[in-house]
Amino acid sequence: MMFRNLLPTSLLGRTILIVLFPIVMFQLIILSYYYNSLWERTLNRLSRSVAMEIQMVTRQYDEDKSSLIDKIEMQEIFLFDVNSYDQLEFFTKTENYNTQVLNSFSQELATRIENPFSIKETLNDTIEVIIQFESSYIMLTFPKDRITTARNHIFLGWQIISALILVLISYLFLKNQVKPISNLAKAAEQFGKGQELDNFKISGALEVRQAGKEFIKMKNRILKQIDQRSLMLAGVSHDLKTPLTRMKLIIETLNNKNIKKDINDEIDHMNEMLIEYLDFAASDDSKDRSVINPIEAIIKIKNDVHFRNHEIELEVLNDETATVNENVFVRSITNILNNAIDKAGRIIIKAEVNSRMIKINVHDNGPGIDDEEKANVFKPFYRIDKSRNQNKTNSGLGLATTKSLLGSINGKISLHDSYLGGLEVAIVIQN
């Protein structure tokens, strides 16, 4: 589980990881083979060559010293005659040096000469070899690069550079392959918010293009169903409004005022319910956004004749302009206030608007909603317990319509317990 949490979350990241892992493993295998085989053999070969030259020195030292010096100097080995070396501590043939280079050279030298010897690496990248004879010492110096090679660093550098190049090429290629998938996901998100997909083009690999084609077909089917639903509801509304109007005209001929009032109230209720049905089914043009002052819009709603006689307070925490669909915003706030005034006597609106978001919290002192009911009230046609909702006009679409409207403008709605004792409706709209 912990390993799974460490994996990249994006498709591009996971794909790069899949490609990168074999590359790294291959590079490690190559490096391991090089250091354990090729580089070691190279060191042994170089050490063997120098050791053989030193072996020649030890054999010919007593015969002809002067000519031997000239011969050695031509091969970058410099011979010095040392009469005394008081502080010399000769190493045994099994002595371990601090580097693999010196260990390799020491082993090769030990197999070719019987004389005690000492090996020392100087600060100027030379190697000193002091060999003991019966009555004297000789010191030979030669460049360190005669028994080592810099190719290991070059090889390591090329390994790293080649790995980086492969990763870069893989990244660019995979990014181009993943981009059509990202575009498809973005298009699906835009469609879910009710936005147009003018810039979406089907591209990518065969499977991605097939998914894009199926998405377009699905989008067209959904839009067709929405149009058919809206057309049907509009027709039903039109067909029902006409007889309702006729009924009201007929009722006016009645003499009993109480009966007339009751029937008129029921007809008005039916009209309001029809309006809610059409409002829920309507296709709102939420892509039309403009710069508005949300606080001013709330004040206009609060001062509307429908809310004027109710106790509604407004607390402004921050007042800035925002880019949002004004019609959707006004309808959403209106729906929430309509829902609140039916159940509460006091309402407090807390509003905060900044460059990033619009945050509206509506508190009331009504009966509230049980926790198990809060998720259900956003379902279309769902009504809470009748004892908490005596409004005959309630169609069960108020909060469902509001959630749908807010979703079209990148907004969210949630319900909480209010400090007033009733319900808190929280709205967050991202700018």
Instruction: Give the mean pLDDT per block of 10 residues along the chain (431 residues).
Output: 60 72 76 66 84 82 58 52 50 55 86 85 84 77 80 65 79 80 82 73 82 86 76 68 71 71 71 64 58 89 81 88 85 86 87 90 90 79 53 57 80 91 90 74
d(CA 58, CA 112): 10
8 Å CB contact between 266 and 330: no
The CATH code of the domain that includes 125 is 3.30.450.300
Identify whether residues 277 and 317 lie together within a single domain: no
Give residues with Cβ within 8 angstroms of 19, minimum separation 6: 167, 170, 174
Structure tokens at 189: 């998100």
Of 385, 358, 357, give the one whose Cα is nearest residue 370.
Answer: 385
8 Å CB contact between 83 and 97: no
Domain membership of residue 160 (yes or no) is: no
Sign of the alpha-carbon torsion through 228, 231, 236, 237: positive
Q: Which of 225, 256, 283 is the last residue of a domain?
A: 283
Structure tokens at 176: 């181009």
Identify whether residues 266 and 337 lie together within a single domain: no
Identify whether residues 117 and 20 lie together within a single domain: yes
Domain membership of residue 174 (yes or no) is: no
pLDDT (0 to 100) of residue 103? 84
Grouping H, G, I as helix, E, B as strand and the rest as coil, residue 188 is helix
Identify whether residues 297 and 249 lie together within a single domain: no
pLDDT (0 to 100) of residue 69? 53
pLDDT (0 to 100) of residue 424? 92
Domain membership of residue 168 (yes or no) is: no
The CATH code of the domain that includes 228 is 1.10.287.130
Identify whether residues 275 and 298 lie together within a single domain: no
E strand or H helix at 141, and its extent?
A: strand 137-143
Give residues with Cβ within 8 angstroms of 352, minimum separation 6: 316, 317, 318, 358, 359, 360
pLDDT (0 to 100) of residue 237? 67
Number of folded domains in the chain? 3
Q: Which of 252, 283, 314 is the last residue of a domain?
A: 283
pLDDT (0 to 100) of residue 390? 43
8 Å CB contact between 185 and 207: no
Q: What is the DSSP string of 372-408?
A: HHHTGGGSTT----GGG---TT--S-HHHHHHHHHHT
E strand or H helix at 351, and its extent?
A: strand 346-353
Identify whether residues 57 and 22 lie together within a single domain: yes
Identify whether residues 278 and 321 lie together within a single domain: no
Identify whether residues 11 and 144 lie together within a single domain: yes
Identify whether residues 292 and 202 lie together within a single domain: no
Of 372, 428, 367, 385, give the one whose Cα is nearest residue 403.
Answer: 428
Of 214, 218, 212, give the one whose Cα is nearest residue 200.
Answer: 212
Of 387, 378, 379, give the one whose Cα is nearest residue 412.
Answer: 378
Q: Which of 149, 172, 199 is the last residue of a domain?
A: 149
Q: Exposed (0-12), middle (13-18) or buried (19+): which is 205, by Cβ within 10 Å? A: exposed
Rg (CA), the chain: 44
Strand 423-430 with 411-417, pairing: antiparallel
d(CA 50, CA 32): 27
Domain membership of residue 177 (yes or no) is: no
Q: What is the DSSP letter of 346?
A: E
Domain membership of residue 156 (yes or no) is: no
Identify whether residues 226 and 92 lie together within a single domain: no
Identity at 240, one-letter amino acid code: L
Q: Please tell me the total number of residues recorded for the chain in this structure.
A: 431
Identify whether residues 197 and 262 lie together within a single domain: yes
pLDDT (0 to 100) of residue 387? 42
Domain membership of residue 166 (yes or no) is: no
pLDDT (0 to 100) of residue 197? 75
Domain membership of residue 181 (yes or no) is: no
Identify whether residues 311 and 397 lie together within a single domain: yes
First to last CA, the chain: 36
Q: What is the phi/psi pair of residue 81, to 5°?
A: -90, 120
d(CA 108, CA 92): 13
The CATH code of the domain that includes 415 is 3.30.565.10
Q: How far is CA 5 from CA 9, 111, 157, in A?
A: 9, 56, 33
Q: Give the residue numbers spanning the domain of 50.
A: 2-149
Domain membership of residue 261 (yes or no) is: yes
